[in-house]
Chain A
């Protein structure tokens, strides 16, 4: 065993986080305050997600960490190494093999199953924050179900752009009650939030944890005449040819050349391996 307590955090901190997670599960979409700790990484690098993952991990878990869908970017690699060192937990890049998946800003393309936990890193957990900066007011708005301001914001999008221009962090309503920020996932991923896995959200700097239990109703806010649309770039993936996955636009030269590739690297690699076989 290394010189760290299992999964880095001390036991009392983990109990506090675990109690917050359970209350979050009992009240889907409600942001539970918790005493977020300083972690050995800067705020904005997933300290909330890391604390939730640390409170959930057991030695039998297989951990996968993705950043914008990719397993091999700086944030994903460093968090994976952090848990390899402090929890000595097995890691994987394959969505289907993972029992705990920590993610920044994407939901894997492959549907998740019953025995998986998806942990989101959340920068700003309060969906109303940019509309109302005062915490006392947004808390009261949630308690009164006063969400008219959010619909006004979406309406102003339509008035200005002709359609709802919000493309990521698209607000959802959970189980007909709380309006929730799904973290900055593209709105393409919003329909996937009604899934079989447990979804946990951790915001370290803002000190909030929230959750969506499996099969919970998650509705993206919209209007009857402007229904929600899960949009993506209108291209197939340049590497694997997938037409159903979310794509990243990659600039490939100085002459304006570009290509669209799957943001989910495991999904793309799996498809290419399947085509080669």
Chain B
């Protein structure tokens, strides 16, 4: 966490984005696995994991939606300086950042089209705790089943029912990162 909008970026962008991407790839390809990702610091309340993920994946071509407490002038300026992405409403966002409740209602985000299901939003969800435990996950990337504490189950089940359309999620907490692609089946326990 820091306050100066000009600091908090990568000191070695090529290498730090590469290692950050590998953490994101591993998290999304293996739902339930928790990865460490760090290197960037954005103004409060954005976690280091979320700030790093934004630097790894976003640029002027990817409109971002900031939800709730994440929509502050400092964070907008930090994104303008380090990323250059336009800040937009949920409907036009490629990426969104916020807590689970602030991001809702989630049906406002793009879920892709039948011809282009990749044109769907990726939601970066800031969480209080990120632990293995909670909902049971199965599907691509999971050998048998995995566990991850999720803020909801009904919505993820409805999201899976849209497959191959749907939203993709990253969950961040401090420097920890987990992924939940649209292909994962979620079961409450």
Contacts and interface: CB of A to CB of B under 8 A. Distances in A.
Do A and B pair up? The answer is yes
Interface of A: 5-7, 11-12, 14-16, 18-28, 30, 32-33, 55-60, 114, 117, 139-140, 142-144, 175, 177-178, 196, 198, 211-217
Nearest 7 pairs of A and B residues by beta carbon? A6-B14, A26-B181, A143-B114, A213-B141, A23-B118, A216-B140, A213-B29
A68 B27 CA distance: 31
Chain A CB within 10 A, most for which of B29, B56, B58: B29
Contacts of A117: 25
A215 B14 contact: no
Interface string B27-38: 011100000000
Contact of A215 (B25, B61, B113, B140): B140
Contact of A214 (B14, B143, B181, B182): B143
B38 to A, nearest CB: 14
A177 B164 contact: yes
Contact of B29 (A25, A32, A143): A25
B6 interface: no
Interface stretch (B15-23, B44-52, B68-76, B125-133): B15-23
Contacts, number: 118
Given A28-B183, A30-B164, A213-B141, A11 B25 contact: no
Contacts of B183: 26-28, 175, 213
B104 interface: no
A13 B62 CA distance: 13
B57 A15 contact: yes
Main secondary structure of the interface of A (DSSP, over half): mixed
A208 to B, nearest CB: 11
Contacts of A60: 19
B77 interface: no
**Looking at chain B, what size class is its interface with the partner chain?**
35 or more
Contacts of A28: 140, 183
Contact of A26 (B15, B142, B168): B168
Nearest to A34: B118
B115 A25 contact: no
Contact of B118 (A32, A56, A177, A178): A32
A27 B118 CA distance: 8
Contacts of A57: 18
A139 B18 CA distance: 32
Nearest to A211: B29
B22 A56 contact: yes
B20 to A, nearest CB: 9
A101 to B, nearest CB: 15
